[in-house]
Amino acid sequence: MTEEEYGLFKDLIRREFGIELKGDKRLTLHTKLSHRLAILDIPTYKDYYGYIISDPSKEELSNFISHITNNETYFQREMARIAVFNGLLGDIKKNRQKKNQNRVTIVSAGCSTGEEIYTLNIMLMESGLFSWGWDVNLIGVDVSRRALRKAVNASYTKNSFRTSNGNDDFSRKYFDLEGDLYVLKKPYRSNVEFRHGNILDPSFLEGVGAVDAIFCRNVFIYMGEDAIKRIVGNFHRHLLEEGYLFIGSSESLLNKTDLFIPEYREGVIVYMKNPRRSSGE
């Protein structure tokens, strides 16, 4: 892969997905894409770039990005945030009840292989707050079709239980061990839906209705300021007035936006939607 070819892909990834390749990732990109070129029988990276951008269906763009993204995730990641969210469930329920609504919607934006959204679903079910008469929707969105296929299968190796190696009450209670695989029990998959989508796209949650909380953790670390601003605007538009945004422990929106108000809860920053600001679209 030449410098020029690398530059083309770098711009494409930034333009389409907001992801900034930091440092020199030319060799990484070459390794990740060479197999794809062989399958398609395309001689050069420049030709492959032309092939991607000339495809109006964006099918190859979607294949391409599935090879590029970092899909690192695991169950019960950064539990301090999940615990704070658990403490907010009562408020979420009351907000909906005040509006005479019996629907709750939680989104994992950049859900990867599903561990985050399933952790949230288990927590919601265990809370017992939304058991009867509630329409509960948990939606995982990701650009990587590869990751989403795994998410739908809900079948994991012990690597997905990074903190316990699969030897804890969590994995024993909610998973069936089939050989080396931990298969999430059926009831804990209910309410969960996965969508292929790009969170940079203003309509990535089209048709979903107002959302109570969005988890977008460990996604902004790969993005530039402009992309983060656009995505935060998209989240603002999709959230209820009282909606919450959770980002990763190594990420921050402080001094980057006035669309959300940071609040400290038990050592964790939760971003509350600022209903007095408009996201401009």
CB of 246 to ligand SAM, least distance (A): 10
Nearer to ligand SAM, 110 or 243 (CB): 110
CB of 171 to ligand SAM, least distance (A): 17
Nearer to ligand SAM, 18 or 166 (CB): 18
Nearer to ligand SAM, 217 or 236 (CB): 217
CB of 198 to ligand SAM, least distance (A): 4
Nearer to ligand SAM, 191 or 198 (CB): 198
Which residue in the block uniquely carries the two structure tokens 């790009």?
198
Question: CB neighbours (10 Å) of residue 32?
Answer: 14
The partner residues of 178 in beta bridges, in order of sequence, read 181
Nearer to ligand SAM, 209 or 224 (CB): 224
CB of 69 to ligand SAM, least distance (A): 3
Which position's Cβ is nearest ligand SAM?
110
CB of 101 to ligand SAM, least distance (A): 27
CB of 94 to ligand SAM, least distance (A): 27
CB of 234 to ligand SAM, least distance (A): 10
Provide DSSP, the chain. Answer: --HHHHHHHHHHHHHHH-B---S--HHHHHHHHHHHHHHHT---HHHHHHHHHT-TT-HHHHHHHHHHS-----TTTTHHHHHHHHHHHHHHHHHHHHTT--EEEEEEET-TTSHHHHHHHHHHHHH-TT-SS-EEEEEEEES-HHHHHHHHHTEE-GGG-TTTTT-SHHHHHHEEEETTEEEE-GGGTTTEEEEE--TTSTTTTTTS--EEEEEE-SSGGGB-HHHHHHHHHHHHHHEEEEEEEEE-TT---TTT-SSEEEEEETTEEEEEE-TTS----
Nearer to ligand SAM, 4 or 206 (CB): 206
- Cα distance between residue 235 and residue 239, in whole Å: 6
- Cα distance between residue 62 and residue 189, in whole Å: 26
Q: Which residues make up the interface to ligand SAM (CB under 6 A)? A: 17-19, 69-73, 77, 108, 110, 112, 116, 141-144, 147, 198-200, 217-219, 248
Nearer to ligand SAM, 197 or 243 (CB): 197
